[in-house]
């Protein structure tokens, strides 16, 4: 059978990796797919660079629409990124009857519902393993491997840049700004790191996982997004003394009245495997009612790790493209007519435990007042750590770990504590997840 023909839009880091791995492992991939898979056309604004990567025998153009217009192309890989031209090209490729493979988490988190509906109507597949956690096959695991389960929660370190920064802050006791500069110098952080450090990239990925885990539409606009820019080295140190580590987690959790969808820094017990995921590595924990807790670990970015996911999608599409569209794996794991309207809960309804750091006057009755406010709000204390006041300074840090409470309740208690004259600076509060 003649090889399936693929057109590649954008041949940067991941595109080059995809081209090279596909070529290097050609024979083995064909044995798996049942048919050859060939990238026969590449579109990139930098034609000379693209030609240098692909060599002879591949048509290189600077206009992606030439690929979409080519009737011989069966699958279009979109590796341009962003919501702009990438969205237009994906929609045009679908309209032209092409299957699409994309690594574009931003596009799917924001416009996925529209894109999947159009693809479904057209009878084509949109595959996106590379959009979440790079080389880790977490989409496959959630959508197929765990299909027997009622998924209870998904919690992941799904941004390598921020995990690298947090690891360095902990290892070296350095502040965020210092480590960010170092990460940029080493190429771990982009020149404009906003999407990573503000939690947006992780929220795109968490949004996609929430949809597949619970059969809800992709709703990035409902996600709570908080990054790591406000984290102080002192909190990482205190957390360590209490046997916790601080990680930026993307969390999708089933609750009684809806789904929690949130990205924020989080204390995690040091003894959990996920707390020991260091540097730029990614890891995702999934809790299912039948399987219990599972953990997936690997490289969340990079040329060949991400190419590994892109090519897995190419193989899936190659195997399934002749199947009746109704018999394929649904884009969001659940049949389109069986999606749930479970709402994404506001943060005030989220239930979690807390780490609190208060700068307080070191005098009689302060602890009693603070704990009195927590008791009054029905918030149970798990642990308290009070540092000895430094020489000549009549104030100290008071660290409190709480048990689970509603965020709305905690916010009211925080406002009362903040108003105490003996609380001398802004209170730091960081959510805590036991991931048990
Ligand atoms: N910038 C991401 C990260 C990789 O740091 O993990 C691509 O999503």
CATH number at residue 416: 3.30.70.260
Domain hosting 399: range is 350-432
Residue 228 lies in a domain: yes
Look at ligand 1, atom 2, and give the residue with the nearest C-alpha: 159
Q: What is the pLDDT of residues 232-279, one digit of tens each?
A: 999 999 999 999 999 999 999 999 999 999 999 999 999 999 999 999
Q: How far is the CA of 98 from the centre of ligand 1 (A)?
A: 27
Number of the ligand 1 atom closest to the C-alpha atom of 204 = 8
Query: Do residues 180 and 208 both lie within one domain?
Result: yes
Domain boundary among 299, 324, 359: 299
Residue 226 lies in a domain: yes
Three-class secondary structure of residue 55 per DSSP: coil
User: Domain count of the chain?
Assistant: 3
Query: Do residues 311 and 259 both lie within one domain?
Result: no
Residue 404 lies in a domain: yes
Give the Cβ contact number of residue 151 at 10 Å.
23
Give the domain CATH number at 312: 3.40.50.720
Query: Do residues 161 and 292 both lie within one domain?
Result: yes
Residue 424 predicted with pLDDT over 90: yes
Query: Do residues 11 and 30 both lie within one domain?
Result: yes
The pair of structure tokens assigned to 287 is: 């809790």
Number of the ligand 1 atom closest to the C-alpha atom of 300 = 6
- Whether 205 is catalytic is yes
Residue 295 lies in a domain: yes
Which of 159, 184, 279 best tests ligand 1's pocket when mutated (most atoms within 8 Å of CB)?
Answer: 159
Q: How far is the CA of 67 from the centre of ligand 1 (A)?
A: 28
Helix (H) or strand (E) holding 316: helix 303-320
Query: Do residues 245 and 368 both lie within one domain?
Result: no
Q: What is the pLDDT of residues 36-60, one digit of tens each?
A: 999 999 999 999 999 999 999 999 9
The pair of structure tokens assigned to 341 is: 């309207």
Query: Do residues 321 and 242 both lie within one domain?
Result: no
Neighbouring residues of 347: CB distance < 8 A, sequence distance ≥ 6: 224, 262, 407
Cβ < 6 Å from ligand 1: which residues? 159-161, 196, 201, 300-301
Residue 342 lies in a domain: no
Q: What is the pLDDT of residues 167-193, one digit of tens each?
A: 999 999 999 999 999 999 988 888 889
Place of tokens 């008791």: 375
Q: How many residues appear in the chain?
A: 436
Residue 343 lies in a domain: no
Which residues are bridge partners to 75 per DSSP?
Answer: 6, 99
Query: Do residues 11 and 39 both lie within one domain?
Result: yes
Q: Mean pLDDT over residues 353-366, rounded?
A: 95
Please state the φ and ψ torsions of residue 429, each to the nearest 5 degrees.
Answer: -130, 130
Q: What is the pLDDT of residues 306-358, one digit of tens each?
A: 999 999 999 999 999 999 998 999 999 999 999 999 999 999 999 999 999 99
Query: Do residues 60 and 100 both lie within one domain?
Result: yes
Q: How far is the CA of 202 from the centre of ligand 1 (A)?
A: 8
Residue 110 lies in a domain: yes
Query: For residues 188-225, b (16+ Cβ closer than 10 Å) or e, as one string?
Result: bbeeebebbbbbbbbbbbbbbbbbbbbbbbbbbebbbb
Q: Which of 105, 205, 247, 253 is catalytic?
A: 205
CA distances to 29, 30, 214, 315 from 34, rounded to whole Å, are 8, 6, 33, 9
Number of the ligand 1 atom closest to the C-alpha atom of 190 = 1
Query: Do residues 388 and 428 both lie within one domain?
Result: yes
Place of tokens 């205190």: 238
| String of DSSP letters for 85-133 | HHHHHHHHHHHTT-EEEE--HHHHHHHHHHHHHHHHHHT--EE-GGGSS
Residue 387 predicted with pLDDT over 90: no
Q: Mean pLDDT over residues 96-105, rounded?
A: 98
Q: How far is the CA of 6 from the centre of ligand 1 (A)?
A: 25
Query: Do residues 146 and 288 both lie within one domain?
Result: yes
Q: How far apart are CA 43 and CA 358, in angstroms?
A: 55
Q: How far is the CA of 302 from the centre of ligand 1 (A)?
A: 9
Query: Do residues 293 and 307 both lie within one domain?
Result: no
Residue 344 lies in a domain: no
| String of DSSP letters for 208-226 | HHHHHHHT----GGGSEE-
Give the domain CATH number at 202: 3.30.360.10
What pLDDT is recorded for position 389? Answer: 72
What pLDDT is recorded for position 343? Answer: 98
Query: Do residues 156 and 239 both lie within one domain?
Result: yes
Number of the ligand 1 atom closest to the C-alpha atom of 159 = 6
């Amino acid at each position: 059978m003649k090889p399936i023909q693929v057109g590649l839009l954008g041949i940067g880091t991941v595109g080059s990796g995809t081209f090279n791995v596909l070529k290097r492992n050609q024979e083995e991939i064909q044995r798996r797919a049942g048919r050859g898979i060939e990238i026969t056309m590449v579109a990139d604004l930098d034609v000379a660079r693209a030609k240098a990567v692909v060599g002879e025998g591949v048509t290189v153009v600077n206009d992606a629409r030439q690929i979409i217009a080519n009737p011989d192309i069966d699958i279009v890989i979109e590796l341009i990124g962003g919501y702009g031209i990438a969205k237009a090209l994906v929609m045009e490729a679908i309209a032209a009857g092409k299957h699409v493979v994309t690594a574009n988490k931003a596009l799917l988190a924001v416009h996925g519902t529209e894109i999947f509906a159009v693809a479904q109507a057209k009878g084509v597949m949109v595959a996106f393993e590379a959009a979440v956690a790079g080389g880790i096959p977490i989409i496959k695991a959630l959508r197929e491997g765990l299909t027997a389960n009622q998924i209870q929660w998904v919690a992941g370190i799904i941004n390598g840049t921020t995990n690298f920064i947090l690891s360095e802050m902990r290892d070296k006791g350095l502040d965020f700004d210092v480590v960010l500069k170092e990460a940029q110098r080493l190429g771990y952080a982009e020149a404009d790191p906003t999407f990573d450090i503000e939690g947006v990239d992780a929220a795109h990925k968490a949004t996609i996982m929430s949809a597949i885990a619970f059969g809800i539409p992709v709703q990035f606009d409902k996600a709570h997004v908080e990054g790591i820019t406000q984290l102080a080295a002192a909190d990482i140190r205190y957390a360590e003394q209490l046997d916790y580590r601080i990680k930026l987690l993307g969390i999708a959790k089933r609750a009684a009245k809806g789904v929690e969808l949130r990205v924020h820094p989080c204390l995690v017990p040091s003894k959990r495997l996920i707390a020991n995921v260091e540097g730029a590595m990614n890891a995702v924990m999934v809790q299912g009612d039948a399987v219990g807790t599972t953990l997936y670990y690997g490289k969340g970015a990079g040329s060949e790790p991400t190419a590994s996911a892109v090519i897995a999608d190419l193989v899936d599409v190659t195997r399934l493209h002749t199947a009746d569209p109704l018999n394929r794996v649904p884009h969001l794991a659940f049949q389109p007519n069986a999606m749930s309207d479970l709402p994404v809960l506001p943060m005030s309804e989220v239930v979690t435990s807390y780490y609190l750091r208060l700068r307080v006057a070191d005098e009689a009755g302060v602890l009693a007042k603070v704990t009195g406010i927590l008791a009054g709000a029905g918030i149970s204390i798990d642990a308290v750590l009070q540092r000895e006041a430094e020489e000549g300074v009549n104030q100290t840090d008071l660290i409190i770990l709480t048990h689970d409470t509603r965020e709305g309740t905690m916010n009211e208690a925080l406002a009362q504590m903040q108003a105490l004259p003996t609380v001398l600076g802004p209170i730091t509060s960081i959510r805590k997840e036991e991931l048990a």
